[in-house]
Structure 1
Amino acid sequence: MRLFRTFISIVLILFGVIFSILPGSILFVLGGLMLLSIDFPPAKRFLSKVQRAMSRNAKKLDLFVLNRKYK
């Protein structure tokens, strides 16, 4: 089962990287990291860093859109 999860997670991460020009491809990378983090602690640390960065960037984007909309 561990080998299967590792294989699927690597495939998802590769799809996310290959299709990085399309919107929503980051979801493939996140899904792959989530699966990989089950078996590998370094992937779990990297996943938490990515989640923090995405949350921070989403807040910045929300503020930018709100300020732009009402000016």
Structure 2
Amino acid sequence: MLFQVFETRIVAFFFFVLYTFRAFMEWKFERAKNEYIITIFTLCIVFLFLSIASFIVDIFEESIRSEIKSITRK
């Protein structure tokens, strides 16, 4: 489970860096339309949100597990 979450974060971060770099280069050399750049930056924001969301879910999942363990010990 932990490896799958970690792997998801790595893939999301890779796509974030890749699309950010691509959008920056397209903007720098003015080869793309503004709609294309906005779409790429939107994709970057989505990938960043996915990695943050998976991190938050992992934190809550760990706290819920510890609460369940403390309840069952009593």
In which range does the TM-score fall when normalised by the shorter chain? Answer: 0.3 to 0.5
Structure number with the higher helix fraction is: 2
* Bigger relative contact order (CA 8 A; separation at least 6): 2
Bigger Rg, which one: 2
Give the TM-score normalised by the residue count of structure 1. 0.47
